[in-house]
Structure 1
Amino acid sequence: MNINQFPIITVIFRGFSKDQVMIAIEELEKSRREYAVEITLNSPDAFTTIKAASKKYGKRMWIGAGTVKNLDEAKIAIDSGARFVLSPIALDRETLNYCKNHGVLTVPSGLTPTEVWKLVEDGADIIKVFPAASIAIDHMKALKGPLGDLPLMAVGGINKNNAKAYLMNGAKYLGVGSSLFKKEDIEHKNIEGLKQSLRAFEEAIN
Structure 2
Amino acid sequence: MHPILDALIAARVVPVIRTSTRAHAATAVAWLKEAGMRIAEITLTTPGATALIADLARDPELLVGAGTVPDAEAARACIAAGAKFLVTPWVDPAVCAIAREHKVAMLAGAFTPTEIRAALAAGADAVKIFPASTGGTGHLKALVSVFPGVKFCPTGGVDARNIPDWIAAGAAFVGMGGRLVDETAIARGDKASVQAAAWAALGIERA
TM over 0.5: yes
3-state SS in 2 of match to 1:11: strand
1:105 Cα shift?
0.8
What residue identity is the alignment partner of 2:123? G
- What is the root-mean-square deviation in Å for CA atoms of aligned residues? 1.9
- Name the counterpart of 1:5: 7
Alignment of 1:1-206 (within 5 A): 2=3, 3-6=5-8, 7-32=11-36, 34-55=37-58, 57=59, 59-92=60-93, 94-203=94-203
Structure 1 146/25 Cα, relative in aligned 2: closer, same or farther at 3 Å? same
- What CA deviation, in whole Å up to 9, does each residue of 1:179-205 have, x standing for no partner? 013222222332223222222333389
CA contact (8 A) 1:86 1:107 kept: yes
CA contact (8 A) 2:18 2:25 kept: no
- Cα distance in 1 between the residues matched to 2:86 and 2:44: 10
Number of aligned residue pairs: give it.
201
Runs of 5+ in structure 1 lacking a partner?
A: none
For normalisation by structure 1, the TM-score amounts to 0.89
Identity %: 24
3-state SS in 1 of match to 2:137: coil
For normalisation by structure 2, the TM-score amounts to 0.88
